[in-house]
Amino acid sequence: MNPSKSLSQSHRTKIPIHFLEPSSDLVRKHFIYSKLRKLDDKDCQQIDSEEIKKQLKSIREESLKNIEANLKELTILLEKMGAKTFYAESASDAASYVQEVLARSDLKGVCINNSSVVKEIISEFPEDIEVFDTYHASQKEIEDTTHLDYWEVPKISEDHIWKSFDIRIIKYKEPLNFVSLIGANAVSSRDGSFFFVQHFNNISSLISQSKETILVVSLEKIVSDLEQAKFISRASGFFGLKSLLLGILSYDTDFQKVHIDELPDRFSSASDTPENKIHVIILDNGRKNLLKGEFSEFLQCINCRACGAVCPRSLLMKEGEYRTPRELVHLRFSGGLSKTVDEGLYNCSLCGSCELACPLLIPLPEYLLKIREDVVQEGLAPKKHMTIGENVKTFGNPYGKGD
């Protein structure tokens, strides 16, 4: 299966785009009520989070099993909608596609959301392309009131959290002269619906106002129908809310952190075309090969970052340097072994907290240990770790001392 690789454009309204975001009013009121009134569980209708996990596991296993069929169905549907897809076998291919879009628009900059699949692509950008990080700009604005220590996170009923993620449809505005690159949380192959989880309105603002939007979906995020896509996206917000409150949002970027209303003049002026145009990239970047190997279960991940909320490393790393266990495993395939070592592979204690917190029980510690084995085999392990190993072999202790 190799969908067309030609540039594709369509009026955005042809593709159903849905946003799930926490209802700030409901959540804020419940925070206050929880802290001041010690709200009892019996006062709220409770949902069964274990049942959510079981259903989520079933959906993820099914979608990975049917990945080829879902891909084919989605590609045909998007073509009928007038949006021929670009199938990128690698992040480099996807980056070249984005550069072609920018060249046609006579632009040298792109606005992004906080998406791991987007970061795969922009890592291949040449230095002359400006990247504007709208997510971390929004995060900085509220961090003083949002970030808490672990023990300060108020007790919130799971029912309130699940229901607080409202679904809304995008409202388009007159386009401005910029291009946005947005990663989707889930896509329905049956009706072409794209789902996004947002916390700060940055995604909806980008899509509603950009001259051209490039929607990116990785292979494993394509599911059979709208209800599955909606469930996965809501689950991502549900299980990831604690990370948001703790400020463990993502590995920070070196890109310019800019609100959409603070873009440079050359990007914030009115577009010379009245239509909002859309492109769709389906990214493989090694995922099909991953499905065949021992890391296949990793592709079930819904990017909720629950693993980061319980990781002890998050308390020790400097701001902007922390990578969640999920991001470290992903980096092995998107950035290579050497980069994974440089960005914190050996900071992990393999305590196993991340696996227990994961709603899908993905064996992240097992994967991280396997990656270390690969690192050693390639001779890339830090010298101090290799020295300890040699000392144990030679002297029977890590100190390099005999009897």
pLDDT tens-digit readout, 213-240:
999 999 999 999 999 999 999 999 888 8
C-beta of residue 178 within 8 angstroms of C-beta of residue 108: no
Region of residue 153 (phi > 0: left; psi between -120 and 50: alpha; otherwise: beta): beta
User: How confident is residue 350, by pLDDT bands cut at 50, 70 and 90?
Assistant: very high
**DSSP type of residue 270:** B
Provide the angle, in degrees to the nearest 10, between the axes of the packed helices 325-334 and 364-377: 40
Quick one: pLDDT at residue 48? 85
Provide the angle, in degrees to the nearest 10, between the axes of the packed helices 134-146 and 202-209: 150
pTM more than 0.95 = no
Backbone angles phi, psi at 110, to 5 degrees: -140, 140
User: How confident is residue 32, by pLDDT bands cut at 50, 70 and 90?
Assistant: very low
Q: Which of 368, 344, 373, 372 is nearest to 358 (CA)?
A: 368
- Structural element, H or E, at residue 71: helix 67-80
Torsion sign across C-alpha atoms 325, 326, 327, 328: positive
Quick one: pLDDT at residue 133? 84
**DSSP type of residue 177:** E
Quote the tokens at residue 157. 């009923």
Between 88 and 313, residue with greater pLDDT: 88
Torsion sign across C-alpha atoms 381, 384, 385, 390: positive
- Structural element, H or E, at residue 138: helix 134-146
Location of structure tokens 């499905």: 291
Q: Give CA–CA dist 5/7, Å, rounded.
A: 7
Instruction: Assess whether pLDDT exceeds 60 at residue 396.
Output: yes
